[in-house]
């Protein structure tokens, strides 16, 4: 083989690697994902983006494999500069994993802008940027409409929550999910939506995590729905599979642990207080004011009553996803 051929072959091999841009890289999922992908030989460069300055835990990572950039994707100029930057172009990014999402329903315009407009702008930029072939969006099971007569297992075609009275945070999640879905027809970027069940673990900024940390834990009297908990190990597995497999579409991702909500509360050692539905919102408000919880009951009104487990057969079939992690309380 001539030197030129070897160089061409080497370039091809380099470009065959998956070079990834991760938004919201400072989130718990982002951090775990980076640590996992750094050890994956199929991954070339990881370009991490978040609003904050480079945190201490990314300082020791190899600079040839991991690049960090502080950028606010909500600002159009910053987003544009990010995609035009030399570092970005040199990294030959071909995949974007969008994790920059406000996972707790903290009220405010910024939450809506990040969750909906941020997703739309980023996806638009990915489609118009040559070289990007995949966009992975971490969605959530809160997008599904919960009703007492729903089947226990919801597949990807289940009704979404378009209830006009739904909490704004849920509406934002549905909007973001729908934006990604609407762009699936484009011929340039494969869009993968991963609708995940409740991720439980340390430093996870999620509703159910906040729920189990509540003191006491409030429950709707007369209801005890089944819930599924997702281990970080499985979150990483699902994203990695979506990254490496040549797929497009929506996938439900759930974990191994499924039981009634009070079973998990008991395992967690929580004190459970069952109250009539009408009292839960004011008591939860009081709890938040007293600093006893970060949980927002208004978002989870239906989830407190009705079971909705995710059917992961499509993810099993097409991604090869197999849940492995058990939650330790």
Partner 1 sequence: MNRYQREKALALARRLLPPEEFERVMSIEINDLGFGFDQFGMEKESAIIAYSLARYVHKYWFRVESDGHDNIPLKGPAILASNHSGVLPIDAVMVCVDVAIKLAKPRVVRAVVDNFAGFLPWVNVFFYRVGQVVGARRNFIDLLHSGEICAVFPEGTRGIGKPFSQRYNLVKFNVGFIELSLTTKTPIVPVAVVGAEEQAPMLGNLKPLARLLGFPYFPITPLFPLLGPLGFIPLPTQYHIRFGEPIEFYREYGPKTVNDPEAVRMLADKVQLAIQDMVNQQLESRSSVFGFGEDEQYDRQSASN
Binding residues for partner 1, rule: CB under 8 A, are 147-153, 155, 220-226, 256-260, 263, 266, 306-307, 309, 326
Please check whether residue 82 is in contact with residue 69, taking contact to mean a CB–CB distance below 8 angstroms. yes
Distances (CA, A) of 34 to 144, 196, 231: 29, 19, 17
Phi and psi based region of residue 269 (left: phi greater than 0; alpha: psi -120 to 50; beta: remaining): left
Residue with tokens 């910053």: 78
Contacts (Cβ under 8 Å, ≥6 apart) of 143:
160, 161, 170, 173, 174, 177, 195
Give the shortest CB-226-to-partner 1 separation in angstroms. Answer: 5
- Judged by beta carbon, residue 16 or residue 221, the one nearer partner 1 is 221
Give the shortest CB-328-to-partner 1 separation in angstroms. Answer: 13
Cα-to-chain-centroid distance, residue 297:
21
DSSP string, 94-141: -EEEE-----S---SHHHHIIIIIIHHHHHHHHHHSTT--EEEEEEEG
- Judged by beta carbon, residue 153 or residue 244, the one nearer partner 1 is 153
Rounded CA-CA distance 282/312 in Å is 36
For 155, phi then psi, to 5°, come to: -95, -175
- Judged by beta carbon, residue 82 or residue 310, the one nearer partner 1 is 310
- Judged by beta carbon, residue 155 or residue 163, the one nearer partner 1 is 155
Phi and psi based region of residue 131 (left: phi greater than 0; alpha: psi -120 to 50; beta: remaining): left
Rounded CA-CA distance 127/191 in Å is 10
Q: Tell me how crowded residue 273 is: count the other CB atoms within 10 A of its CB.
A: 15
Token pair for 52:
């904050």
Give the shortest CB-231-to-partner 1 separation in angstroms. Answer: 13
- Judged by beta carbon, residue 105 or residue 225, the one nearer partner 1 is 225
Give the shortest CB-73-to-partner 1 separation in angstroms. Answer: 38
Give the shortest CB-195-to-partner 1 separation in angstroms. Answer: 17
- Judged by beta carbon, residue 41 or residue 222, the one nearer partner 1 is 222
Give the shortest CB-217-to-partner 1 separation in angstroms. Answer: 15
- Judged by beta carbon, residue 257 or residue 300, the one nearer partner 1 is 257
Token pair for 319:
């991604």
Token pair for 45:
């460069």
Give the shortest CB-161-to-partner 1 separation in angstroms. Answer: 17
């Amino acid at each position: 083989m001539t030197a030129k051929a070897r160089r061409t072959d080497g370039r091809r091999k380099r470009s065959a690697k998956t070079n990834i841009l991760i938004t919201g890289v400072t989130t718990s999922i982002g951090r775990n994902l980076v640590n996992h992908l750094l050890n994956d030989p199929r991954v070339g460069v990881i370009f991490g983006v978040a609003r904050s300055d480079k945190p201490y835990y990314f300082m020791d990572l190899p600079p040839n494999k991991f690049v960090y950039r502080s950028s606010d994707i909500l600002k159009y100029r910053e987003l544009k500069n990010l995609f035009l930057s030399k570092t970005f172009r040199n990294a030959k990014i071909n995949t974007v994993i969008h994790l920059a999402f406000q996972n707790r329903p903290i009220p405010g315009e910024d939450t809506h802008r990040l969750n909906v407009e941020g997703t739309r702008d980023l996806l638009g930029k990915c489609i118009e940027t040559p070289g990007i072939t995949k966009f992975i969006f971490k969605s959530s099971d809160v997008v599904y409409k919960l009703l007492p007569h729903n089947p226990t297992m919801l597949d990807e075609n289940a009704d979404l929550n378009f209830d006009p009275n739904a909490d704004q945070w849920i509406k934002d999640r549905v909007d973001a999910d729908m934006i990604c879905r609407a762009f699936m027809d484009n011929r340039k970027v494969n869009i993968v939506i991963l609708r995940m069940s409740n991720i439980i673990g340390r430093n996870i900024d999620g509703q159910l995590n906040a729920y189990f940390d509540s003191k006491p834990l409030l429950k709707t009297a007369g209801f005890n729905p089944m819930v599924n908990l997702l281990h970080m190990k499985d979150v990483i597995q699902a994203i990695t599979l979506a990254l490496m497999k040549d797929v497009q579409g929506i996938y439900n991702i759930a974990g191994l642990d499924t039981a009634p909500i009070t079973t998990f509360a008991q395992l967690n050692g929580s004190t459970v207080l069952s109250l009539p539905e009408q009292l839960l919102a004011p008591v939860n408000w009081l709890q938040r004011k007293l600093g006893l919880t970060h949980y927002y009951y208004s978002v989870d009104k239906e989830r407190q009553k009705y079971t909705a487990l995710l059917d992961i057969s499509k993810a099993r079939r097409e991604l090869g996803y197999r849940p492995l992690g058990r939650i330790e309380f």
